[in-house]
């Protein structure tokens, strides 16, 4: 009887081979890649995290638009994280993604389209610049008051 992990591994193996076919990789190219990067001669010898990583790398090669989406997701997360920090709020990946989803009006962070990711990134960067500008003004006003006393 197969466990859930075995089923997941077998599904990932199928995905790996499908992506290799999509990239038109022959057996020699696959073997070279496995040997050079992981020191194994067959994809079956990889453990689950290695196979997951390899599928991610190959999928980004097969679908370059995923790399663009990933880049903008990371930028947006950084921008929201900086905004939360500037606001004195706690931030972690889960809170940042939830904030992005609320701002985009979606229920899944990975469903935010690239155009909306860019738009939100620019909006949060503007908020960050505004906060820094206001912080500079208030710091300057405080210094003037201290110097007057």
Q: For residue 145, name the pLDDT band (cuts at 50, 70, 90).
A: confident
Section 63-83 average pLDDT? 92
Q: For residue 149, name the pLDDT band (cuts at 50, 70, 90).
A: low
Section 23-37 average pLDDT? 92
User: For residue 73, what are the contacts with CB-CB under 8 A and spacing of at least 6?
Assistant: 109, 110, 112, 117
Give pLDDT tens digits for 44-61: 999 999 999 999 889 888
Tell me which of 32 and 5 has the higher pLDDT.
32
Task: Write down the pTM of the prediction.
Answer: 0.60
């Amino acid at each position: 009887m197969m466990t859930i992990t075995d089923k997941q591994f077998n599904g990932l193996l199928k995905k790996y081979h499908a992506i290799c076919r999509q990239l038109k990789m022959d057996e020699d190219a696959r073997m070279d890649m496995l040997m050079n990067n992981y020191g194994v001669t067959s994809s079956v010898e990889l453990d689950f995290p290695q196979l997951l990583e390899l599928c991610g790398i190959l999928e980004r090669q097969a679908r370059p638009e995923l790399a663009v989406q990933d880049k903008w997701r990371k930028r947006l997360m950084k921008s929201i994280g900086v905004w939360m920090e500037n606001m004195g709020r706690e931030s972690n990946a889960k809170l940042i993604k939830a904030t992005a989803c609320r701002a985009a009006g979606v229920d899944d962070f990975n469903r935010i389209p690239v155009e909306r990711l860019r738009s939100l990134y620019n909006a949060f960067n503007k908020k960050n610049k505004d906060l820094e500008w206001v912080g500079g003004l208030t710091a300057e006003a405080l210094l003037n008051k201290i110097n007057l006393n």
